[in-house]
Amino acid sequence: MPRAGLTSSTVAAATLELIDEVGLEKFSMRKLGQRLGVDPMAAYRHFRNQEDLFDAVAGQIFSEVGLEDLPWAEGWRSLSEGYCLRLRDALLNHPRAVPVFATRPIRSTASIDIGVRMIGIYEAEGFTPADGLRLARSLRELTIGHALSLSARQLGSETRSRKPSPDEAGYNLLARAADATTFNDHFEVALTAMLDGFGHRRQRPQELEQP
């Protein structure tokens, strides 16, 4: 790709592709330059530094969530569930890049607009704006934490498990409980519990009508 063809979007997309392939630890600006066919310093025409570039990578992942297709008209709970499931899937499409997303805020205009829209719906359905923000933050943190755990498994952490098998002397209650679950079946249980808890913080209709 000639240097004239570079934009901030193409550089961010190429960075994400490279992290997907080699991992964050092996990423370098030199490798990015080779992928783009330009001098490694050319990316800095679009980004102040590598951290600024990684902010754009996080934004690139966030753009894959498909937020406009969320169930905006189906109530706060369906909206929250849909947001978490879509965010989880977008993150797991890029397991090596999940740490990039997890360690920086999304500052794009689109993400801010979505945040305002979500909290507006929460407020309309009985949450204070502060509780709406608490809910949005909690959903994000639950989903990112789960994605970090699953991405580590995708990248091989399960091979280091020392869980004993049923025929071994060390097979205990914890091991038996693990055999009764799957590695990801707790996410929706946790999400349901979180939404149930926040649901109790909604104001009653008569409280909303008070001046």
| Domain definitions of the chain by residue range | 3-47, 63-158+165-208
pLDDT tops 90 at residue 190: yes
Question: What does the pLDDT read at residue 5?
Answer: 73
- Confidence tier at 69 by pLDDT (50, 70, 90): very high
Q: Work out the average pLDDT over 59-79.
A: 95
Question: What does the pLDDT read at residue 15?
Answer: 97
CATH 1.10.357.10 is right for the domain spanning 63-158+165-208: yes
Half-sphere exposure of 34 (CA within 13 A, CB side): 6
Lowest-pLDDT range of 93-97, 118-122, 148-152:
148-152
Question: What does the pLDDT read at residue 163?
Answer: 78
Q: Work out the average pLDDT over 111-130.
A: 95
Lowest-pLDDT range of 27-36, 68-77, 176-185:
176-185
Question: What does the pLDDT read at residue 1?
Answer: 40
Of 62, 48, 72, 79, the closest CA to residue 16 belongs to: 62
Provide CATH code, domain 3-47: 1.10.10.60
pTM for this prediction? 0.85
Indicate if 63-158+165-208 has the same CATH topology as 3-47.
no
pLDDT tens digits, 18-53: 999 999 999 999 999 999 999 988 888 999 999 999
